[in-house]
Structure 1
Amino acid sequence: MSDLSNRNTFFWLAGILLLAFVLRVHNVGRYGIYFDEKSTLLISQGVCLEGANQKDVFTQKYFTPAEFWKPKTIADFIEANIRGDIGNSPSYYAVLWVWMEIFGLSDLSMRMPSVLFSTLMVAMLFWFVRRHFRSDMLALLAAGIAAIEPFFVAYAQMARNYSMTFFLTLLSTHIFLLILEKAEKEKGSKGGRDGKQTAKAFPFLPSSSTPFLLYLAYGAVFALSVLSHYLAVTVFLCHGIYAVFFLRNVRTWVALAITGAVGLGLVSLWFIFGGGAYTFQTMAYQAEFYRNIALTNPTGTPFGLILPGTIPNITKRAIPIFADLFLFTNGLGSALTGLKNAGLALMLGSLMAFVMYRYERDTQPPVWVKAALPVILLAGTLVYSVVPLRFLVLSIAPVMLWLMSRYILEHTNTREKRYVLLLVLLAFVPTFFLLFMSWRNNHTFGITQRYSGFSFPYVCLLIAMALRQLASLRWWFTVPVAAVFVVQLYFVSQVLLQIYGGVEPKYTYFEKPRIENPYWFAAQELKAQYAPGDTILYPNMKRVIYSEKIDKTYSPVALLDAQLVNVYLPEDATYIQRVDPNERDKIVLVKGKDGPDGRSRKVTIFDLKDVRY
């Protein structure tokens, strides 16, 4: 049942989507691409990072953009995907290739699909909540939380597969629940309204939709999701666990089994004939590689701190991952390592939750109850020995968990309570899968938020339940907790500002802010200054070989700088170019004859020292 008028709902949803889009598109093209995005750019164009499929170009003393841009085959795209991303994300690269064929090659163009998928995910979350939990207000709250969630904003500004995968996996969960609803109706009634209900729940299918179309959509989204990011399988694992507990319709089990088999068959084609053929052996190599680092040199690598996968090490890495899942504990991971302050904050929060539980229904409670929460919050703030406002925010975590449970108990029916179990599975299983793999491989390298980011939409819904319940309480309970939540929103806004400034290490991975794309800038300068008879010189850096199978090619030097400039040069240009064996960092334009007679003049187009990221 809707709790807002359709007009008000539309108005608020439009505002939330506009906010989500603005937050994601702001500054999106300002900073240069970092290493993973360099991989994205080259893979989407069928170019191997180290030039493995461009040997005929770079073994020449001189080459031109026209030779660099010679037509690529499907085999080129597959090899680029293997070498640049272990065969991961082919569906994302296909979407990005089509997008850039239409809108061109630029940082803004390359990142816009992520912006759009992230914004669509907010809209999809609204529809998901509205359809399955029957509340416009709850749906708007969940969408609003997703709109401002720093994790979503950060990854919407990266030309990587994550935003697309988050959207697809949320869509898959929606379709999965529609299938289960159909199964329940088949079991309980043979009425003829199923087609109308399905069409109403899933408006982008034709009005003549049948259950077959739901299965077809589920199988297609499964294949696209897994081929967008392999770890999306953890979402479908949650679907399977939920079905084991609650699906009792044999026909639906058979149909889902067939759907899964067909979906796996489609995915397996990539693993048999495409770039996925090398995925598992590369992952095995990487597991051994990072394990050796963790055991021998955990701090002396360019990959950051990599520790052995012991229970204490995994736990320490997992704490900020779980903390950042929830908007009201975002950024508190480091604070939780201060055990005394954290313990006190959680104890005071539990006391507040108990007071609220005991007196929530009293219209005229004892006078002291109305002042209890502010006093407890103030007392804690005066006692915390460090970052008191951070621990003040942490103290409402038990309250928010209690509010979630109250909403679930009081405002959901039997079916929705079962759905909550699915939400909990989806919120935690992807991260626990990462922790298990870390323990199994004996290193902590893979414990990172983006690999379990599929959980965030469902956590946004759980938070929305807590806020919806908070709004229904007496003002003496609502106002203090809401005030602390506003404090946390201030911290969230600071995280967003750091993301826009390129200095939030949790999401941007950089020790110092990036500059505008130096390769794009160099290409524009070269187009403006190049004249017939000139020669472009690119830096020559020795390549670091990590894997003999994947990294080692004919070229002992890194060709990435030359490749990335050529990406932005005209495809039919005949500029004379070569790699300079005597230069590490500078892109140079040699005006006139490039020879030993000394008559040529060298113009530094760009110095890449310390700006390669």
Structure 2
Amino acid sequence: MRKYILLFFLGVIALSFRLYRLDARGLITDEKFTLLNANGFWVGGANQSAFKKTYFTAQDFWEKKGPQDFMDASANADFGTHMVHNVILHYWMKVFGNSDFSVRMPGLIFNVLTVLLIYLLVLKYFRSYSMAFLAGLLFAIDPLNIAQSHIARSYPLSFFLITLATAYFVKLVSGENSKKNFVIYAVLIGLAMLNHYMNFFVPLLHVLIFLVIRNKSHLWTGFILAALANALLLFYWFNWGGGKGAMGFLKDKNEIHKKIAENLQDELSQTIQLASPDVIAKKGIALYYDISVITHGLFEDIKGVKVFLSSLLLAIGILLSVQGHKYKRYAGLFLSLLILALERIYLGSILASAALFVAFYYAVKYLLETRRYEAEKQEFVWLCMGLGMLILPLIFVVRDAYLSGNTTSLTHRYIGNASPFVVILVSIGVIRAAQEKVILGALMLFLMIFQWTNIQKGIQDYFADRSVYNAYFVPERVPNPYAALAKEIQEKAALGDTLVIPGAYKDKYEERFDKGGTVSYKDAQFLNLYFPKDYALIQYVDPKERERLYLKKKDGERVLLFDFKGEEYRY
């Protein structure tokens, strides 16, 4: 009964945060790209015959698309990622429609399922209600995951797939190595990789863990076949499928971002910075804190590498003072007091940071203990996954920033797939530390109480539309302008009217690098998504109009319906 009561509470908490204001704000650019891709349409309309005509209707826009269109659309806009999510969303919209609430619901469902899955897995393999509930709770209130549940993108699906795939990996290495489990494992890994390439960290860690575990001779054949199946799948995908242009896309994207960062007069250079060692170090440390959930936003309080390193020394001092022999204890106590005295203006923040290091120490200590016992192989795998996913994604994004020369890779969504595993590592470390010594239990309690303010602020910032997880919108976004416009047009338009849609608008990137006079069909695409498929109103994209959308009446009168005002309503 206790198991299911806690499961119920976690479900309520997770759903409450994720359902709140789910459709209160319009779709951001990435979400609109998702809706186009999920219908087989290229962003920009290159594969839609409607935009090859001067005049067209929604019937033209909604022309039927085949499987190749879906892959090409994904390759064109998202370098072949998000494919599994887009397929699910395609059929979801056929049943539930494409309102903002509806298209965001699959991500919400997968994220809540991941909360519950984490709780059940930790309870099963670590046999601790406190560890299981804390892990589920941290994931449920994680500002990153709350934000991702409100965005119609594939990341929540990725988190669910890689967590479930790892659960099957644990089954396989701990004796449940049936053919059925190998097939399910191979399928889950394949789906995760097609959903987003950044999920490659998970099978990579599975390989590394498999190489170090004992008594595995009977598993080689199954894992080799699973690896070959996925290698062939990705070989096809990168050569003929949706990922065929991925590498070239990323190269071009990095070159554009570097040019922006190098031009200090460009307003975008404030967000796309040159990757200097100082900037990389600070952004990398900020990601380290946020990947841990429990220390979300802590770098805003610490604001420096020096204090971060001081907190590491403080953690060493604390560990020596509670674990060492007589003289080591005195040395640890002296070091701790010295650090606290030198960094006293950061007292609360440095203690919280040190507490996280202490929690990681006890998680790693537990990992080393489980390595000795074959019977505890499951715990060993989960702890290795937590530690590996804490380290590898951070190394990857830091390396990418260094090689590309800009900081666009140093962002939360590229390390988000670590969050299911890191919450397990953190929760186990916190509970183990608290069980070791009363003073350490007090330190872990302080960490959670002190950090609740930062976590709360992260959640509030997201719902106020000024979060690092969804960019900053001033003023706050309104409900979907395109959906509202489509409804208004259907109410006001009469037979013989023509809808005139702006076609001269270019976003900040296009203004810098697309100097041609090409017509933009994006406003027309986003608007037509909300027209019925049989809607026969004549439409025209005006190549000279940038902002205003008109209804041209039969008598020639132009009725202004909406002014997009640049980015204010285009998000």
Q: Same fold (TM over 0.5)?
A: yes
The match for 1:520 among 483, 489, 493 is 483
1:50 corresponding residue in structure 2 = 44
CA distance in 2, matches of 1:211, 1:320: 43
- Contact 2:385/2:421 (CA < 8 Å) preserved in 1? no
Query: Which residue among 324, 328, 344 is the counterpart of 2:294?
Result: 328
Which region of structure 1 is more displaced relative to structure 2, 512-521 or 27-36?
512-521
Give the counterpart letter for 1:604 in structure 2.
L
8 Å CA contact retained: 2:548, 2:562: yes
- Please state whether the residue corresponding to 2:415 is helix, strand or coil: helix
Structure 1 letter corresponding to 2:477: R
Q: Deviations over 1:562-602 (max 9, x none)?
A: 111110011101112112344211222234433xxxxx251
Question: Quick one: which amino acid aligns to residue 431 of structure 2?
Answer: R
Could you say what secondary structure the match of 1:276 adopts?
A: coil
> What is the match of residue 204 of structure 1?
none
- Are 1:589 and 1:603, in contact at CA under 8 Å, matched by a contact in 2? yes
Q: Which residue in the other structure is 2:6 paired with?
A: 12
* Inter-CA distance 553–511: structure 2 relative to 1 (3 Å threshold): closer
Aligned counterpart for 1:457 among listed residues 420, 424, 444: 420
Deviation at 1:264, TM superposition (A): 2.0
Between the aligned partners of 1:498 and 1:292, the Cα distance in structure 2 is 31
Distance 1:480 1:259 in 2: 44
Distance in 2 between the 1:553 and 1:117 partners? 41
**C-alpha distance in 2, partners of 1:348/1:591?**
73
* 2:180 paired residue among 204, 213, 217: 213
Distance 1:475 1:284, change over 3 A: closer
Q: 1:21-55 CA distances to partner (integer Å, 9 max, x unpaired)?
A: 2211211111111111111011111111111012x
Q: Which shows bigger deviation, 340-349 or 255-264? A: 340-349
Is residue 233 of structure 1 aligned with residue 226 of structure 2?
no
Q: 2:212 aligns with which of 245, 262, 276?
A: 245
**Structure-2 residue corresponding to 1:117:** 110
The alpha-carbon distance between structure 1 residues 107 and 345, as it changes in their structure 2 partners (threshold 3 A), is same
Correspondence for 2:304:
338
Counterpart of 2:540 in 1: which secondary structure? strand
Alignment of 1:612 onto 2:570: yes
Inter-CA distance 413–127: structure 2 relative to 1 (3 Å threshold): farther
2:242 to 268, 275, 282: 275
Q: Distance in 1 between matches of 2:390 and 2:167?
A: 15
Q: Which residue in the other structure is 1:571 paired with?
A: 533
Structure 2 residue identity aligned to 1:171: L
State whether structure 2 residue 68 is matched by structure 1 residue 68.
no
Question: Residue 396 of structure 2 corresponds to which residue in structure 1?
Answer: 433
Aligned pairs for 1:288-437 (under 5 A) are 288-294=255-261, 296-297=262-263, 300=266, 302=268, 305-309=271-275, 311-339=277-305, 341-342=307-308, 345-357=311-323, 384-385=344-345, 389-405=348-364, 414=373, 415=377, 416-417=379-380, 419-437=382-400
| 1:319–1:514 CA distance, 2 compared to 1 (3 A) | same
Report the CA distance between 1:70 and its aligned residue: 1.7
The verdict on how the C-alpha distance between 1:118 and 1:376 changes in structure 2, with shifts beyond 3 A counting, is farther
Aligned in 2, Cα 1:430/1:481: closer, same or farther, shift over 3 Å?
Answer: closer
3-state SS of paired residue (1:327): coil
Residue 491 of structure 1: aligned partner: 454
| Change in CA separation of 1:558 and 1:389 when aligned onto 2, cut-off 3 Å | farther
Distance in 2, Cα, partners of 1:317 & 1:376: 28
Shift of 1:125: 1.2
Kindly provide the amino acid, as one letter, of the partner of residue 290 in structure 2: D
Q: In structure 2, what residue type is equivalent to 1:236?
A: P
Counterpart residue number, 1:258: 225
Query: Could you tell me how far 1:341 is from its partner in structure 2?
Result: 4.7
**Is the contact made by 2:401 and 2:407 (CA closer than 8 Å) also made in structure 1?**
yes
Note closer, same or farther for the CA distance 1:425–1:340 as it changes in structure 2 (3 Å cut). closer
Compare CA radii of gyration and give the structure with the larger one: 1
**Aligned partners of 1:277, 1:343: CA distance in 2, in Å?**
43
Structure 2 CA distance for partners of 1:383 and 1:440, relative to 1, 3 Å: closer
- 2-side partners of 1:533 and 1:417: how far apart? 70
- Once the two structures are TM-superposed, the CA of residue 166 in structure 1 deviates from its matched residue by 0.8
Identity %: 26
Q: Give the Cα separation in 2 of the matches to 1:276 and 1:520.
A: 31
After the TM superposition, which of the residue ranges 333-342 and 234-243 deviates more from structure 2? 333-342
What stretches of structure 2 of length at least 5 have no aligned partner? 326-332
Alpha-carbon deviations, 1:509-531, whole Å to 9, x = none?
12422221111111111122111
Within-5 A mapping of 1:186-205: 198=176
Equivalent of 1:29 in 23, 27, 47 = 23
Q: CA deviation at 1:138?
A: 1.9
In the alignment, the residues of structure 1 paired with residue 8 and residue 45 of structure 2 have an alpha-carbon distance, to the nearest angstrom, of 46
Are the aligned partners of 2:370 and 2:380 in contact in 1 as well (CA < 8 Å)? no
Q: Deviations over 1:351-398 (max 9, x none)?
A: 444444469xxxxxxxxxxxx99x979x95996446x65445334334
Task: Give 3-state SS (helix, strand or coil) of 1:219's partner.
Answer: helix
Cα 1:309/1:177, change in 2 over 3 Å: same
What is aligned with 2:465? 502
Q: Secondary structure at the match of 1:507?
A: coil
Tell me the C-alpha RMSD between the 2 structures: 3.3
1:88 CA displacement:
1.6
**Is the CA contact 1:502–1:514 (under 8 Å) kept in the aligned structure 2?**
yes
Contact 1:48/1:84 (8 A) holds in 2: yes
Residues 96 and 113 of structure 1 are in contact (CA less than 8 Å); yes or no, is this contact kept in structure 2?
yes
C-alpha distance in 2 between matches for 1:465 and 1:169: 20
- Judge conservation of contact 1:31–1:514 (CA < 8 Å) in 2: yes
The aligned runs of 1:176-195 (5 Å cut-off) are: 176-182=169-175
Deviates more, 1:478-487 or 1:552-561: 552-561
Q: Give, as a single letter, the amino acid of the residue that structure 1 aligns with 2:108.
A: V
Amino acid at match of 2:559: K
Tell whether the 8 Å contact from 2:550 to 2:558 is kept in structure 1 after alignment. no
Q: Tell me, what secondary structure is at the counterpart of 2:115?
A: helix
**Partner residue in 2 for 1:206:** none
**Are residues 1:556 and 2:525 paired?**
no
Secondary structure, counterpart of 1:612 in structure 2 = coil
CA pair 381-572 structure 1, distance change in 2 beyond 3 A: farther
CA distance in 2, matches of 1:343, 1:461: 24
Task: Give ranges in structure 1 of 5+ residues lacking alignment.
Answer: 1-6, 183-197, 199-209, 360-371, 595-599
Counterpart of 2:328 in structure 1 is none
Cα separation, 1, equivalents of 2:143 and 2:507? 34
